[in-house]
Structure 1
Amino acid sequence: MTSAVTPTGVVVAPPGLERAEWLRVRRAGIGGSEVAAVLGMSQYVSPREVYLDKVGELPLDRPRDPALEEAAFWGHVHEPTVAAVFADRTGLAVVEGPGTLAHVERRWMLANVDRYVLAEGESTPSSLLEIKTRSAFQLDEWLAGVPDGPALQTHWYLAVTGYAHAHVAALLGGNRLIIHRVERDEGLIEHLVALVGEFWQGVLDRVPPPVDGSEATERLLGHLYDVRPKAVTVADPDEVLPLLERRRELKERAARTEAELREVDNSLKAAAGEAEVVKVQGQVAYTWRQNGPFAAKRFAATHPSLAAQYRRPADALDADRLAAELPDLHRQFRARRLIVNTPKDTAA
């Protein structure tokens, strides 16, 4: 039996693995960076995507959003610096870990810890350090504490390792380091293990999580399948007809809400008149400033000669030419549109 390297953590993969092999190791369980997604709390990854990855229905090393790749790159670059500054400012020694850990009893609980922390006079780690690199716009959130996503990841690592506390160091905007100490919360950990364990059992049983309404799921479904042009699926009416009826009801409600909201906004605009700022009881209640999008077409129609002076050539991709010369490649990058047929009125 493998010996524990932390109170409850055992090594299941050494450091420095090739990326493909490391990704295969990750498919054997749930890692800390996936917990928020499993719980439906990630804006980038849905529970459905995590499930499809774990059962091998997605490419092992599929491309990610370029913005996320860029953020991950800079996070990796800054990680040693943040660790060194954390050690300098806290007086706590930090060391790199022995690789990917799993819980000694629940091997599907995985952790890739950024650094391990040794208190003064200790020869073995007694806590861990989670390192984050974030935008300066998140400073207020981090000043108030560790945000939900990183907090869940940190508690997951505490669950795997068995440590009593952890440290989180976040570099905000490249020039502000925020350090928090996170105490182990047994109630939260028990809840996390139960919820994520239920998800993992679904992976083992090949029972996918339900489709949710997140933008992450919308993006996933838009690019998940290789579309077969003009292919037809005969759907179960008991499944699809209630969804279509629910969709119709929601669309009607949205239209009513939009009209009511427009009525309220128009009344507010009428009350503003020619003023840009409206005050109520001495306080600014709302503004209606002339600083919105520029009406280029209306300007060009009203002042054609002046508009001609301010035109500039656009450097744009010729999608029509691409479609004509490389239709199959063009199709791969077209978005899928959902168009629901409205039943025709067959009344005499």
Structure 2
Amino acid sequence: MRKLISTNGLSNEEWLRYRKQGIGGSDAGAICGLNPYVSPMSVFYDKTNEEIETYDNESMRQGRDLEEYVACRFAEETGLKVRRSNAIYQNEKYPFMQANVDRLISGKNMGLECKTASAYNADKWVGDSVPAHYEIQCHHYMAVTGAEAWYLAVLIMGREFKYKRIDRDEELIRNLISIEKEFWEEHVLTGNMPDPDGSEISNEVINRYFPAAVKMSVPLPSYLNEQLKRREEIIHLAKKLEQEQNQIEQKIKLFMGEYEEAFNEHYKVSWSNVDTVRIDSKRLKEERPDLYRDFSKSSQSRRLTIKAA
């Protein structure tokens, strides 16, 4: 590996610009289709768009603030010494592969990735299991740095602290390099958007590219006919499955009657009271048009409608 840039004194905007120059550890799982929160299409958008997004939320803030705590707990549990690297690294042979690692382990050819998770996601860390996109992230770092192993440590809020050693897997790393190389060369460098994966994230990316429609028509290519036909079949199947689901739930409701809960050794069912308050917008518009106007919010989106000819 080689050092691309020191992160000491680097502003957040400068750091984000350097991230656009290559594929980072958090991108790797998304490119492989393993990240439930990021799609290949959204990674492509990030790498090819000049806009610098500085999105942040409380969960991200806590993750940054607790990184040092996780690193200290790891050192305490293992007896290993860890240090900050304060740099963005590149793989010399594949310079599009970047690594901005949390910690390196002193005296060993290893590193540490620090994570935090809510108690609601504790099931993803049961036993020896870890989320797949985090494991890929660690192998990406090993591919960039040449490390022989990488540790993944997690603080599950209010529950427990745990860590796992992930040993270098040469075959997996070769496959990962191949996937990332293809993504970078066939998509990012050429501007050829990857195929959508059906996720809501991909929907958001498409809407960013094409936010408004122009009043024009375009011929529909015949190669899409099979996919449109399959879409009709899926809609029909989904309706049948939804009806079957409703039928099962109706039988359970009839069994429960006025009781709120039912349970056995396998399931716990709750059919409880829920109070809902909604604004009567029609009445508000008629009786208080001034309030309706002041508190109404206008937005524009695009609706996809498909009809058989």
CA 1:50/1:319 → structure 2, altered by over 3 Å: closer, same or farther? farther
Aligned twin of 1:62: 53
Percentage of pairs with the same residue: 31
Aligned twin of 2:285: none
2: distance between equivalents of 1:268 and 1:89?
A: 49
2: distance between equivalents of 1:63 and 1:224?
A: 19
CA RMSD of aligned residues (A): 2.8
Aligned twin of 1:11: 3
> In structure 2, the residue corresponding to 1:194 is in which secondary structure?
helix
TM-score (norm 2): 0.83
- Structure of greater Rg: 1
Is 1:222 aligned with 2:207? Answer: yes
Cα deviation, residue 254, structure 1: 1.5
1:339 pairs with 300, 305, 308, which one?
305
Aligned twin of 1:159: 143
- Please list the CA deviations of residues 257-305 of structure 1 after superposition, one character each: whole Å capped at 9, or x if unmatched: 22233333334444555666667xxx456565440534669xxxxxxxx
Whether the aligned pair in 1 keeps the contact of 2:212 and 2:301 (CA below 8 Å) is no
> In structure 1, the residue corresponding to 2:147 is in which secondary structure?
coil
Gap regions ≥5 residues in structure 2: 279-290
Cα deviation, residue 60, structure 1: 2.8
Cα deviation, residue 340, structure 1: 2.8
CA 1:269/1:285 → structure 2, altered by over 3 Å: closer, same or farther? farther
Cα deviation, residue 250, structure 1: 1.7
TM-score (norm 1): 0.74
2: distance between equivalents of 1:156 and 1:272?
A: 52
1:211 pairs with 193, 196, 199, which one?
196
> In structure 1, the residue corresponding to 2:66 is in which secondary structure?
helix
CA 1:207/1:70 → structure 2, altered by over 3 Å: closer, same or farther? same
CA 1:266/1:81 → structure 2, altered by over 3 Å: closer, same or farther? closer
Aligned residues: 294
Whether the aligned pair in 2 keeps the contact of 1:20 and 1:61 (CA below 8 Å) is yes
Amino acid at match of 1:23: L
Aligned twin of 2:167: 183
Aligned pairs for 1:1-348 (under 5 A) are 9-16=1-8, 17-56=10-49, 59-62=50-53, 64=55, 69-118=57-106, 122=107, 125-145=108-128, 146-173=130-157, 176-202=160-186, 203-228=188-213, 230-272=214-256, 283-284=264-265, 289-294=270-275, 320-321=293-294, 330-331=298-299, 334-341=300-307, 343=309
